[in-house]
Amino acid sequence: MAEPPPHLDDIDAQLLDLLQHDADRTLFDLGEQVGLSASAVQRRIARYRRDGLVVRQAAIVDPHRLGPMVQAVVLVTLVRESFEHHSVFADRMRTEPGVQQCYRVAGPWDYAVIVTAPSMRDCGRLGDRLFKSDDNVRRYETLLVFDTVKTGLAFPLTDVPRGR
């Protein structure tokens, strides 16, 4: 059974929003923004981590500074759809460095996978290795990304349950 969502107050929502957009801000700066002391902010962040609300912090690398990169969205349909077959596929996606994101989706496709490679040739090889050589992949379609319009992992916090 899933845990109920945490009850957050308005300060929690503000603080989490600030952290999602820049977790490198100082405790003092965060406190200034939400009207708390640095130590109160630190206690709240510790609670978010303890409660599993904040699961990790990561540095965001500007891909344009790394040189040429090819990104693609790959839509995948599996042949066998048992829990075990989905688990095997998902585990492979989680361990592959070239897979940036992977979503199990509804509709005619089973998965939408975001992949990145240094070149078109490498992207093709990655696709062959991940999808073409997998006997449980019925069909896959690769859509090359021409331009990034928006990326992000921040969740909107306007409709989060409030109150403690």
What is the C-alpha to C-alpha distance for residues 103 and 101, in angstroms, rounded to an integer? Answer: 7
Q: Which of 16-30, 51-65, 71-85, 147-161 has the lowest mean pLDDT?
A: 147-161
Contacts of 29 (CB under 8 A, 6+ apart): none
Reported as a single tens digit per residue, the pLDDT across 3-44 is 777 788 999 999 999 999 999 999 999 999 999 999 999 999
pLDDT score, position 164: 47
All structural domains of the chain, each given as residue ranges with its CATH number in brackets, are 10-50 (1.10.10), 63-144 (3.30.70.920)
pLDDT score, position 60: 83
Question: What is the DSSP secondary structure assignment for residue 157, as one 8-state letter?
Answer: -
pLDDT score, position 1: 58
Reported as a single tens digit per residue, the pLDDT across 83-139 is 999 999 999 999 999 999 999 999 999 999 999 999 999 999 999 999 999 999 999
Q: How far is CA 36 from CA 11, 51, 54, 75, 162, in A?
A: 9, 20, 19, 46, 18
Q: Which amino acid is at 104?
A: R
DSSP string spanning 138-155?
Answer: EEEEEEE---------PP
Q: Which two tokens stand for residue 112?
A: 């939408």
Q: Which amino acid is at 55?
A: V
How many other C-beta atoms are found inside a 10 Å radius of the C-beta of residue 147?
A: 5
Q: Which of 64-73, 102-111, 149-158 has the lowest mean pLDDT?
A: 149-158
pLDDT at 58 > cutoff 90: no
Q: How sure is the predictor about 68, in pLDDT bands with cuts at 50, 70 and 90?
A: confident
